Amino acid sequence: MPALERAGLLPALTRLAAPPATVEQLRRAHTLGLIEYVQQVSLQGGGLLDQGDTYVTGESYELARLAAGGCAAAVDQIMSGAAHNGFALIRPPGHHAETDRVSGFCLFNNVAVAARQAQVAHGVKRVAIVDYDVHHGNGTQDIFFEDDSVLFISVHLFAPYFYPGIGGMDEIGVGRGRDFNLNVPLPPYVGDNGYRRVFDELIEPRLRRFEPELLLVSAGFDAHWQDPLAMAGLSLTGYDAITRRLLGYADTLCDGRVLFILEGGYQLDVLSAGVNNVFRALLGRGAIEDPFGPMPQPEHDVSGLLERLKRHYLL
């Protein structure tokens, strides 16, 4: 928020209060057992929820309800026409939270709650979710793996021992959801050009085939080359190119209805500059902020990988 204020962007934005998600809204994405587990540990003052690093404090349950509820409220604004587009600046993040399991700092799956809000409250038949966080959106995949009304696309680093360890091209969905789950597993140091080609050659044609009525974006800024937890090689200029492609897809396919939802990002200056740039694009402004420049090492050529993925997904 201070970064948005320094950039002079706040006066152009409409700020929306985040109501807490109801248990009914959360149950559209999660089991009641998971919801009650997070609540109980939080009410007891907090603690570790899994074998990894996902924990709660005494306030986490209510904060996670606000995060999910804020995303649902933003969907209401966009689907009603009160807002053209939006960005949910929320914490905790959500894309690792599965139907019945927390993981990866995520308690409730915010983007999944948003998708179900569009479907249940507004009668939307087809929602597309594009996740460009550097980690695979395993939770979102789990929730929609058998669902043909939600197209889930995850672009992520896929390297040995890299969290969460899944997200291969063979994970395409099952039952009705078969072929509605598209993973783009990338090697390290793909950089701006590789990501551009992924969106142009894989994501755009799949979105056009699906014809979504709403586009949701799991926006993680940990694919930047300076992020301490990964090595994907994107620059802020590359991120901006992705943002403007996504806005173009939304304009063409779903009357501009798009909601960005914050996920990861662990270099805080990169995170704030990246968020500022998304808001500039949402507002239709041209200039962007990139004080860090491009990745210093050569980009990995993804030509062979893209050809295999296009054959695999029949694109």
Cβ-proximal residues to 5 (8 Å cutoff; 6+ apart), any chain: none
The one-letter amino acid at 292: F
Active site residue 84: no
Which residue among 30, 95, 96, 135 is the active-site one?
Answer: 96
| Length of the chain (residues) | 315
How far apart, in Å, are the Cα atoms of 175 and each of 8, 136, 167, 178, 191?
A: 49, 21, 18, 6, 35
Q: How far apart are CA 193 and CA 302, in angstroms?
A: 9
Q: How far apart are CA 200 and CA 249, in angstroms?
A: 11
3-state secondary structure of 154: strand
How far apart, in Å, are the Cα atoms of 166 and each of 105, 129, 154, 163?
A: 17, 18, 11, 8
CB atoms near residue 277 (< 10 Å): 23
- For the annotated catalytic residues, the residue numbers are 96
